[in-house]
């Protein structure tokens, strides 16, 4: 379904070797290296790897801008007791880990590197999304948009999907040492202008709403929240963004519509939210199962459950560089 090959200045990347339809699982893989609160040492975990797996780890991409100074002292200190790795190798292992790991659970301190997933480059308008599937014990990549044969498979490394270009560039450079040249960041001036207008507009509306919320409590809060949530949904869709964030917005809108006794609207919004979630995580994901359950309970009047979906205790999943 895909191949790993050179992607110009980005290094390696993953490309569709045939057309991939939205919702398809592109890959599912287990961690190559992981740490958690009980076993927090990256170098100790790397020392346990077989020579083949350690070589595979050392082939992954480094953040060159952080290669020289940062990590050297820590690597030297930590590798003191690990005779199996040189200080240089230890420094590279740390750099590679920071540049490629995903935070899977804040509570358990679980962070992991997945060898093929680590080859997927960033786009501010990605066509795929990564999520950890607890029941498979694997990280999955699903197409959130249709992908043409030969097109690069991309995910977003950012937390704020609707961020403005300057903020996106700053965060990507700080985290990964690159300035993004994706189809949005290097798109036509017209496209960038429209995107900037849409994104600033919604940010302004969100700020105004938050300010209003802080000052007075008006009884029509649910209807105003619904209007705003639907505007955020529209912005995502106009920007070509799909995935779990959009699914959550639809499910939240469904909950608000239900609260306003608009059952027909709640059903339509909820069904769309579930469809988007299934596309992003797969029908075997506990995330999807939890949303399905919450949606059916909401329809029977227990809407608080949808507001406290279990996964919302965890942070939004994304690469976790240099944290």
Distance from chain centroid for Cα 83: 36
Nearest approach, Cβ of 10 to ligand SAM (angstroms)? 4
Note whether 100 and 61 are within 8 A (CB).
yes
Nearest approach, Cβ of 212 to ligand SAM (angstroms)? 37
Nearest approach, Cβ of 319 to ligand SAM (angstroms)? 7
Both tokens of 43, joined, read: 């170098």
132 three-state secondary structure: strand
Note whether 160 and 206 are within 8 A (CB).
no
Nearest residue to the partner ligand SAM, using Cβ: 11
Nearest approach, Cβ of 16 to ligand SAM (angstroms)? 16
Sign (positive/negative) of CA torsion 142, 148, 150, 155? negative
Note whether 111 and 102 are within 8 A (CB).
yes
Q: Which is nearer to ligand SAM, 91 or 278 (CB)?
A: 91
CB atoms within 10 A of CB 53: 14
Nearest approach, Cβ of 185 to ligand SAM (angstroms)? 8
CB atoms within 10 A of CB 10: 17
Note whether 93 and 130 are within 8 A (CB).
no
Q: Which is nearer to ligand SAM, 169 or 292 (CB)?
A: 169
Q: Which is nearer to ligand SAM, 97 or 176 (CB)?
A: 176
Name the CA dihedral angle for 143, 148, 153, 156, rounded to a multiple of 10 degrees.
-60
CB atoms within 10 A of CB 11: 13
How far is it, in rounded angstroms, from Cα 156 to Cα 164? 14
Q: What residues line the site for ligand SAM (CB under 6 A)? A: 9-13, 60-61, 63, 99-100, 118-119, 121-122, 176-178, 180-182
Q: Which is nearer to ligand SAM, 183 or 262 (CB)?
A: 183
How far is it, in rounded angstroms, from Cα 292 to Cα 200? 33
Q: Which is nearer to ligand SAM, 175 or 273 (CB)?
A: 175
How far is it, in rounded angstroms, from Cα 188 to Cα 305? 44
Nearest approach, Cβ of 118 to ligand SAM (angstroms)? 5
Q: Which is nearer to ligand SAM, 308 or 323 (CB)?
A: 323
Pairing of strands 33-35, 110-113: antiparallel
How far is it, in rounded angstroms, from Cα 292 to Cα 274? 7
Nearest approach, Cβ of 154 to ligand SAM (angstroms)? 7
How far is it, in rounded angstroms, from Cα 105 to Cα 109? 6
Q: Which is nearer to ligand SAM, 109 or 181 (CB)?
A: 181
Q: Which is nearer to ligand SAM, 118 or 253 (CB)?
A: 118
How far is it, in rounded angstroms, from Cα 39 to Cα 133? 21
Q: Which is nearer to ligand SAM, 12 or 15 (CB)?
A: 12
Nearest approach, Cβ of 159 to ligand SAM (angstroms)? 16
Nearest approach, Cβ of 99 to ligand SAM (angstroms)? 5
């Amino acid at each position: 379904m895909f191949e790993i090959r050179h992607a110009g200045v980005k290094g390696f990347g993953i490309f569709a070797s045939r057309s991939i339809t939205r919702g398809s699982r592109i890959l599912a893989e287990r961690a190559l290296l992981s740490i958690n609160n009980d076993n927090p040492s990256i170098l100790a975990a790397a020392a346990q790897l077989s020579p083949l797996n350690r070589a595979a780890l050392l082939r992954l991409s480094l953040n060159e801008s952080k290669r020289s100074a940062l990590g050297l002292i820590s690597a030297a200190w930590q590798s003191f007791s690990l005779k199996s790795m040189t200080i240089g190798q230890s420094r590279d292992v740390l750099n590679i880990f920071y540049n490629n790991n995903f935070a899977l659970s804040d509570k358990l301190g679980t962070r992991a590197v997945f060898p093929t997933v680590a080859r997927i480059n960033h786009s501010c308008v990605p066509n795929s999304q990564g999520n950890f599937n607890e029941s498979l014990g694997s990280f999955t990549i699903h197409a959130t948009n249709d992908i043409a044969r030969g097109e690069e498979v991309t995910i977003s490394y950012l937390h704020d999907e609707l961020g403005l270009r300057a903020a996106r560039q700053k965060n990507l450079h700080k985290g990964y040492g690159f300035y993004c040249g994706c189809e949005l960041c290097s798109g036509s001036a017209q496209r960038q202008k429209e995107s900037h207008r849409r994104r600033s507009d919604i940010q302004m509306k969100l700020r105004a709403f938050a300010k209003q919320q802080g000052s007075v409590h008006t009884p029509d809060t649910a209807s105003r929240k619904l209007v705003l949530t639907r505007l955020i949904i529209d912005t995502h869709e106009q920007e070509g963004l799909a995935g779990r964030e959009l699914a959550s917005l639809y499910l939240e809108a469904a909950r608000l519509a239900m609260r306003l006794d608009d059952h027909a609207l709640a059903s339509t919004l909820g069904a769309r939210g579930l469809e988007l979630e299934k596309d992003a995580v797969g029908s075997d994901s506990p995330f999807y199962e939890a949303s399905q359950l919450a949606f059916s309970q909401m329809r029977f009047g227990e809407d608080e459950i949808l507001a406290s979906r279990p996964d919302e205790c965890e942070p939004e999943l994304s690469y976790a560089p240099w944290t």
